[in-house]
């Protein structure tokens, strides 16, 4: 009996490992596809703070819900950098657009300062969207329209986002007049213990508190002041 159980566990382990390997290979294919289409998404190769360009490109493709979710894990909504397949997300909270209540969820990002900036300067809203396999709910991350800002960061290609003072619907995806920069995963209303856990975490708690105390003109961590100037 013990030998049979060991054989069953070993078979299950091999099966699980095989599934994980297939999933990783699929994610690598998605990553390589984004690299291949880089010049379509960024004609001048400037991806600074241009996560919204990835989102717009992907939502315009004929993707299933699962494909769309996996593709959106491969870029940073804050910086526009690509993220290696299989990276672990940060667990964060963001204010819900309408209620201002804390919504907890997973964020895929290129570096820890991006989590801090996103928690400070974005909102989240659940929307319905029709995918190849039907209508599904997604939690989109939003910032205000940056197009009228006098200090719009020079490092960012303004034409990627704006048509004069308005967001350009042909170039970016818009919800309630706000710019969609990416997705929050496994999103739900936070309870008190989850908020405390996030605030006690070394990254989302201590490191973010340190970063948030730095004056804007002195920030040189991650994307520095570029995203903050766009989103604040």
Give tens-digit pLDDT for 97-145. Answer: 999 999 999 999 999 999 999 999 999 999 999 999 999 999 999 999 9
Report pLDDT for 66.
96
What are the pLDDT digits (tens) for 48-98? Answer: 999 999 999 999 999 999 999 999 999 999 999 999 999 999 999 999 999
pLDDT at 222: 59
Burial class (CB in 10 A: 0-12, 13-18, 19+), 65: middle
Cβ neighbors of 99 (< 8 A, separation 6 or more) are none
Asked if 204 and 104 touch (Cβ cutoff 8 Å), the reply is: no
pLDDT at 176 over 80: yes
Dihedral, 27, 174, 204, 188 alpha carbons, nearest 10: -80
Q: Three-state secondary structure along 65-90?
A: HHHHHHHHCCECCCCCCECCCCCCCE
pLDDT at 180: 98
23 pLDDT tier (thresholds 50, 70, 90): confident
* Global model pTM greater than 0.85: yes
| Confidence band for 18, pLDDT divided at 50, 70 and 90 | very low
pLDDT band at 3 (very low <50, low <70, confident <90, very high): low
Mean pLDDT of all residues belonging to the chain: 89
> What local confidence, expressed as pLDDT, does residue 1 receive?
57
More confident residue, 4 or 193: 193
Cα–Cα distance, 21 to 183 (Å, whole number): 25
Q: What is the dihedral of CA 186, 68, 78, 87, to 10 degrees?
A: 70
CB 146 within 8 A of CB 230: yes
Q: Within a 10 A sphere around the Cβ of 135, how many other Cβ atoms?
A: 9
Looking at residue 24, its pLDDT comes to: 84
What is residue 214's predicted lDDT score, i.e. its pLDDT?
82
């Amino acid at each position: 009996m013990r030998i049979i159980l060991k054989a069953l566990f070993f078979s299950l382990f091999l099966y699980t490992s095989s599934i994980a390997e297939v999933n990783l290979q699929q994610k690598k294919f998605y990553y390589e596809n984004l690299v291949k289409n880089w010049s379509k998404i960024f004609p001048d190769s400037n991806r600074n703070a241009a996560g919204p360009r990835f989102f717009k490109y992907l939502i315009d493709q004929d993707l299933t819900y699962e494909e769309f979710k996996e593709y959106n894990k491969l870029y940073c909504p804050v910086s526009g950098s690509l993220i290696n397949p299989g990276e672990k997300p940060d667990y964060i909270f963001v204010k819900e657009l309408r209620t201002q209540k804390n919504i907890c969820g997973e964020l895929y990002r290129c570096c820890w300062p991006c989590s801090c900036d996103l928690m400070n300067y974005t909102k989240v809203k659940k929307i319905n969207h029709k995918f190849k396999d039907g209508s599904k709910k997604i939690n989109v991350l939003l910032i205000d329209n940056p197009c009228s800002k006098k200090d719009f960061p020079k490092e960012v290609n303004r034409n990627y986002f704006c048509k004069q003072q308005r967001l350009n619907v042909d170039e970016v995806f818009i919800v309630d007049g706000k710019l969609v920069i990416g997705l929050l995963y496994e999103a739900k209303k936070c309870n008190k213990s989850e908020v405390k856990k996030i605030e006690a975490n070394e990254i989302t708690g201590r490191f973010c508190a340190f970063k948030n105390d730095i004056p804007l003109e002195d920030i040189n961590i991650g994307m520095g002041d570029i995203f903050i100037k766009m989103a604040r």
